[in-house]
Structure 1
Amino acid sequence: MAAELASTCDASPSARRARVSDLAARMLSKTSKQSSDPAILLLADGTAFYGRSCGAAGTAVGEVCFNTSLEGYFEVVTDPSYAGQIVTMTYPQIGNYGIDLADTQTAPGMPGRHLGNVKPALRGLVVHDMCHVPSNWRSTMSLPEYLEERGVVAIEGIDTRALVRHLRDNGAQKGIVSTEVFDLAELAHMLDSAPDLVGTNLVQTVSCKEAYGYDASSLSQNRAFAAAAPANARKKVVVYDCGVKRGIIEGLARVGCELLVVPWDTPASEVLKHRPDGVFLSNGPGDPDAVEETYAQVQRIIGKVPIFGICLGHQMISLAAGATMEKLAYGHRGGNQPVLNLLTHRVEITAQNHGFGLVFPSLGELVPELSGGVSEHPCGSDGTPATGDLRFWVERGVAPVVSNERFGRIRLTHVNLNDGTAEGIQLLDAPAFSVQYHPEAAPGPTDAHYLFTAFMRLMDGDRDYLDIDIAKDRLAGWTFAEEPVA
């Protein structure tokens, strides 16, 4: 090997590059990664990253974004909310504990949608270092094997720190990842020809095609050793599937909901015919303004039955109230987003996945007597209310209320502490509330589990349904092994 390296150093520059490339390939083939094909990631602004394939061969186009979760990569890969996106994981090594198909977040209940027997909704995956030989007693296959088997293009070996900094400085943007095309001009042409995320209805690609039921009897037993027994079903809830995660379905069933999951465009009249105790609006991918069929139905349901919405469901309630949405620079994706509950003044570390957000002032004018005496929405540096930093309300300890033309008084309940964006609202004159984040912790912390309990309390008619000790509630769903008796 030393002689080979010496001869390489004595060669011409072009021959030296060829020999080093061949030598590197042969050295890599002796490691757990084995040999791999080259891959490239090209962004819409012309920035290119070169690496190695660690998934399926092919070419994929989508919006390049990043997720800051330290674990839960399989739940991220199988989250339907990532439809249309190429996800970059910021944690350096991904795949080290392999995967168990029981952890898939593809919703259950539909033929072919159980245990990951369907291609994930995301377009591609970007990591710094992919582990090809996982170590975990629950693992049944490696992440690269899963990606290749499901046809997901993935790239490793790039500087994900540089990529994430670029996206933070320049915003999320379209990109193309390929293991078969390396001509930059050709890749740029393919990228320009692809549709933008804004204006595209991705919900229809991940929603169920027909209604199905789900209750506690359908719960997986793979976590029975740690999870507390589910509550008895006592509320009938219709779930609008806009790309609902399996963890959400399970969370609702565990607190006592008997579910009927329906497609994203189910008419309100059909939902109300079932005489549900409540309606749940799920998470989902893409531009909320493009999902008019859903928020038009929500507008007809508000006031008739209790409603709880998360993520895209939060945006559906907001749009039904006539609000404006804004495209965030790079969105919130990960399991470490700090949010303040303005009602309890407790901070929640939350799991999030969205690229659009509610412009709270667009819901209506402030009601001063319910907003700490403040009569005008706070403004940004350019003097416009739309860019106001909602941490203004955090500093004052006030949950402001606006007067909405359609549904009366609406209160801001949650604010993101990183950027001051709206994270939750509560309708005061109708039984409805919503948050922009995920309460099911799949993956992520359990701080927001209390929102499932709050929904049950809302359906019970409790006026203070959001006033819950989150520390006690998040522990209620688990059991802990007792100390062995000596």
Structure 2
Amino acid sequence: MASTTKGDCGPAILLLADGTVFYGRACGAAGTATGEVCFNTSLEGYFEVLTDPSYAGQIVTMTYPQIGNYGIDPADVQSAFPGDIHRAPATPALRGMVVRDMCRTPSNWRSTLSVPEYLEQQGIVGIEGVDTRALVQHLRDHGAQMGIVSTEEFDLAVLADKLAAAPQLVGENLVQTVSCFKPHSFTADDLPAEHEFAFSACATRRAPYRVVAYDCGVKRGILEGLVRAGCSLTVVPWNTPASEVLSVNPDGVFLSNGPGDPDAVEETYAQVQELLGKVPVFGICLGHQMISLAAGAQIEKLKFGHRGGNQPVMNLLTRRVEITAQNHGFGLVFPSLGALVPELSGGVAAHPANGDLRFWVERGIAPVVENERFGRIRLTHVNLNDGTAEGVQLLDHPAFSVQYHPEASPGPTDAHYLFTAFTRLMDGEPDYLNIDIASDRLHGWSF
């Protein structure tokens, strides 16, 4: 191995909580790490995955067989800010990485270092040579589960003891480990010059929309998407009181993505309860779950979650299918929001017994429930793979949310229109979600 591009790499091991073992080679930092083992189905964008704060507490398996072939450009980092704004500046939040084949000799004009070099620099344990098809199939059959990866300990009994003593993902507030700890601005001046070759000039407006963005582990690409839509952002910590937000009289409030169990982030959704109805609100991913919890809904842990840049979602309002970028392991139980309003739900009076929301896709209906706290709430988006809820709209208050990421870092641009929808909501347009996503999907790109 020393005479190949792989170099003189040592052995590594991955042990799952159910006792399943995978052996491979080290391709990152030396050490031992525990976390929930999950998988991402993206064909590209591994660096954005590496630096997405939503992966805090997880060991990520990439399903694409070769990772690292185009290297890394630090300009693509998704951890929002360096310096004294975040508790762990520029450090990836994930615990480990699992791949089939790791490329150590990248070829790309933007690349400045390889993925193995980056993992070693950042102290992230990596393992390659794993049969990732078998691992992903196992996780799909048995569900995402805790695991331990090591390049220094190979005694299964010792590894099992360490894994048993590790903190669980459910019930742990990981948002507080990745959020900023003081407010800061993000404007057009903060857009990376390295990306100018791909984008046209961002939207200009005589008076930019003044938006307060809750940082629950926000990706930088999402902030950039908001700015390009015409927003000037004040980014605040995850537990900022609603009274402080309302005191600055913003045009809107944005609730970001973030890691872990949403039920453990009570200090955020308690603030959302106070914000809804008083200011336009847009939430994505964890922000979608925060709105749902604020409305008294139930959140469930999905068997193996949605992670990747190729998740099909039906927009029930436009009847168009969006290919979306997603990263979450929990989801909204839509019936828990309230009873159906038959006259607004195609005459249907009862939620489908099996909980599969593709029931509404087949009928071409965007159903509405009556919520005890916030009135009428409409289901707007459904995942076509498993029939779970992907978006809701409050009809009696200016607020909407989606479970996925609209900014294509990494992933497609089909859901870009949601940034525009947020600005239309702040402008008071009643039909703000009625946007032709086919014409909008490439908006802002220069090629």
**Offset at 1:327?**
0.4
Check whether the contact 1:109–1:213 (CA below 8 A) recurs between aligned residues: no
**Aligned-pair Cα RMSD in Å:** 1.2
1:90 and 2:63 equivalent?
A: yes
Number of residue-to-residue matches in the alignment: 445
**d(CA) in 1 for partners of 2:14, 2:85:** 31
Determine helix, strand or coil for the equivalent of 2:289.
helix
**d(CA) in 2 for partners of 1:149, 1:265:** 31
1:396 and 2:370 equivalent?
A: no
Determine helix, strand or coil for the equivalent of 1:200.
coil
* 1:235-384 matched pairs, under 5 angstroms: 235-380=209-354
Residue type matched to 1:420 in 2?
Answer: G
**d(CA) in 1 for partners of 2:362, 2:190:** 45
In structure 2, the residue matched to 1:129 is 101
Determine helix, strand or coil for the equivalent of 2:195.
coil
Determine helix, strand or coil for the equivalent of 1:467.
coil
* 1:102-141 matched pairs, under 5 angstroms: 102-108=75-81, 110-111=83-84, 118-141=90-113
Residue type matched to 1:34 in 2?
Answer: G
**Offset at 1:232?**
2.1
1:62 and 2:44 equivalent?
A: no
Q: Deviations over 1:203-247 (max 9, x none)?
A: 000000100001111111112122010112521000000000000
Residue type matched to 1:108 in 2?
Answer: F
Cα distance, 1:113–1:319 mapped onto 2, change above 3 Å: closer
Task: Provide structure 2 residue ranges, at least 5 long, that are not aligned to the other structure.
Answer: none
Determine helix, strand or coil for the equivalent of 1:344.
coil
- Structure number with greater Rg is 1
In structure 2, the residue matched to 1:43 is 16
Aligned with residue 376 of structure 2, among 398, 404, 409: 409
Check whether the contact 2:28–2:126 (CA below 8 A) recurs between aligned residues: yes
Check whether the contact 2:14–2:147 (CA below 8 A) recurs between aligned residues: yes
**Offset at 1:112?**
7.3
**d(CA) in 1 for partners of 2:20, 2:104:** 28
**Offset at 1:472?**
1.4
Q: Deviations over 1:291-345 (max 9, x none)?
A: 0000000000000000000000000000000000000000000000000000000
Task: Provide structure 1 residue ranges, at least 5 long, that are not aligned to the other structure.
Answer: 1-27, 381-387, 481-486
The TM-score normalised by the length of structure 2 is: 0.98
Q: Which moved more, 1:223-232 or 1:134-143?
A: 223-232
**Offset at 1:35?**
1.1
In structure 2, the residue matched to 1:458 is 425
With CA pairs under 8 Å and 6+ residues apart, which has the higher RCO, 1 or 2?
2
Residue type matched to 1:455 in 2?
Answer: F
Check whether the contact 2:82–2:90 (CA below 8 A) recurs between aligned residues: no
Determine helix, strand or coil for the equivalent of 1:394.
helix
Determine helix, strand or coil for the equivalent of 1:441.
coil
**Offset at 1:117?**
5.8
**d(CA) in 2 for partners of 1:229, 1:129:** 38
**d(CA) in 2 for partners of 1:391, 1:112:** 42
**d(CA) in 2 for partners of 1:315, 1:112:** 25
**d(CA) in 1 for partners of 2:22, 2:82:** 40
In structure 1, the residue matched to 2:128 is 156
Aligned with residue 146 of structure 1, among 84, 105, 118: 118
In structure 2, the residue matched to 1:16 is none
**d(CA) in 2 for partners of 1:206, 1:314:** 18
Residue type matched to 2:396 in 1?
Answer: D
In structure 1, the residue matched to 2:50 is 77
Check whether the contact 2:300–2:332 (CA below 8 A) recurs between aligned residues: yes
In structure 1, the residue matched to 2:198 is 226
**d(CA) in 1 for partners of 2:97, 2:198:** 31
Q: Identity over the aligned pairs, expressed in percent? A: 76
The TM-score normalised by the length of structure 1 is: 0.90
**d(CA) in 1 for partners of 2:86, 2:180:** 9
